Structure 1
């Protein structure tokens, strides 16, 4: 439980998925839209990109009181190529066809910024998704039912997307949705912010 001397907890994200994940910890928090340019830099790797953006989001919020600010960013990689959000039905179908029968990697950057001490802690968590071999009918049916147009990789693992997978590999299933809670709990504890 947060005590009277604890800083406020801030999530630098407007994502309902990340807000729902942070809500699992049953801590009071506020969500603020970060002010961060998400354009990849030339020759930037996926790991460098998500860590830089997580830090950028966490440090971009203008706050009036002492805060612990959480920033997070995620990319999906297949064949060493960053795959973005599909945005359209056609792109989602194309992404899932490319992922059928293959393994793809998600990199999720996490940063915690202490506005009082101006210190920042960050890390990148990796999660691998192994896809079943998917027929055109299954792909189209899935896309039409769940409309994963705003999700990297064109699926929602917390929903019907689970039927597309053969196996999931990673430390924390929350990482795949976009917020590594196991790492976040460690970071909060290091700042003296007790979750329980």
Structure 2
């Protein structure tokens, strides 16, 4: 990975090189806690700009592998890093492909495992649709809420992005504790 262009590694390629890669997981802390690649450091995508100096230092020592659940957020992170002159590869298929192919994941010891973002989105979308339908029995314009959520889910599927996940990622339980992020950044520069 000599240029500043982003590259992609398959699960098998990443597994073969895992010992030489610095793995950065850009999922929310809750998603990271559900299981991550061995040795992965959690730097949520929303905090990537804060981590740029540490990531630049880590990239100077060796290759970076950026990981998320499916590969979409990690591809975004790789593009943002490339814009800053930092070369990184994304894991094709993300942790979903990693676990599907039978590779181990690690979980932080002694932490409560929050729900994965996909599950949070399903709950929020379902509750909003039900609320729109229930309120729509007495006030028909409330049904627009259900229609809006359905439309948002279609756009999410077509574009492989999720506005609801972006909103939910900002909730306090999905944010890294300051001490955790600082420890991660210190580990990347050590």
TM-score, length-scaled by structure 1: 0.24
Higher relative contact order (CA 8 A, sep 6+): 2
Give 1 or 2 for the bigger CA radius of gyration.
2
TM-score, length-scaled by structure 2: 0.24
Higher share in strand? 1
Higher share in helix? 2
